[in-house]
């Protein structure tokens, strides 16, 4: 499978902020579960577990560059794209994307900020896209 040449993570502040929100929700729901009990408590405990899982998954979001392929570790699935299928990397109002030669695009959850993001969140996404595109172009010249 090959070793990982580059790993790109979202900015630390973003990872901690999102994980903190999910962690806070988890704590609040656990308190509700203990106080209310019964069915409400069970639902609150399930919500707390889901929030805690989301907090952990936030810390795992990344883009990996391998010698043979690129891996997008997204919220719900991991996408493995061979270099031969990648046309280019780019960035738009939604975040970083990878376009395959067949025209299909995949967004990287690690750098997917949505169109309401502040400038500094967009800069991180644009910088990651530029770095990945530079790697792709260098590979094509070989």
Residues 74-90 have pLDDT tens digits of 999 999 999 999 999 99
The model carries a pTM of 0.80
> Where are the alpha helices (H) located in the chain, listed in sequence order?
12-36, 38-60, 119-140
Closest CA to 96 of 77, 66, 73, 67: 73
Three-class DSSP category at 86: strand
In 3D space, the residue among 86, 99, 91, 102 whose CA is nearest the CA of residue 129 turns out to be 91
pLDDT above 70 covers a percentage of the chain that reads 93
Residue 130, pLDDT score: 95
Q: Phi and psi at residue 116, in whole multiples of 5°?
A: -100, 15
Q: Which residues contact 130 (CB under 8 A, 6 or more apart)?
A: 91
**Per-residue pLDDT band at 34 (split at 50, 70, 90):** confident
- The residues facing 105 across adjacent strands are 99
Whole-number average pLDDT of the chain = 86
Name 41's Cβ contacts closer than 8 Å, sequence gap at least 6.
32, 33, 34, 35
Per-residue pLDDT band at 48 (split at 50, 70, 90): confident
Query: What distance in Å separates the CA atoms of residue 133 and residue 117, rounded to the nearest whole number?
Result: 22
Distance CA 38, CA 100 (A): 50
* Percent of the chain surpassing pLDDT 90: 41
- Stretch 125-140: mean pLDDT: 92
CA Rg, the chain, in Å? Answer: 18
Question: Ranked by mean pLDDT, which of 5-9, 26-30, 122-126, 129-133 comes out on top?
Answer: 129-133
């Amino acid at each position: 499978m090959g070793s990982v040449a580059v790993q790109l993570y979202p900015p630390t502040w973003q990872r901690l902020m999102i994980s903190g929100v999910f962690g806070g929700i988890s704590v609040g729901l656990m308190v509700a579960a203990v106080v209310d009990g019964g069915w409400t408590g069970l639902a609150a405990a399930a919500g707390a577990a889901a929030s805690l899982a989301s907090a952990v998954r936030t810390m795992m979001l990344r883009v990996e560059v391998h010698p043979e392929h690129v891996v997008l570790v997204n919220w719900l699935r991991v996408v493995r794209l061979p270099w031969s299928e990648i046309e280019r990397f780019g960035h738009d109002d939604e975040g970083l994307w990878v376009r395959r030669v067949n025209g299909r695009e995949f967004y990287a959850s690690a750098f997917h900020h949505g169109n309401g993001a502040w400038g500094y969140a967009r800069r991180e996404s644009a910088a990651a896209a530029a770095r990945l595109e530079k790697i792709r172009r260098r590979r094509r010249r070989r």
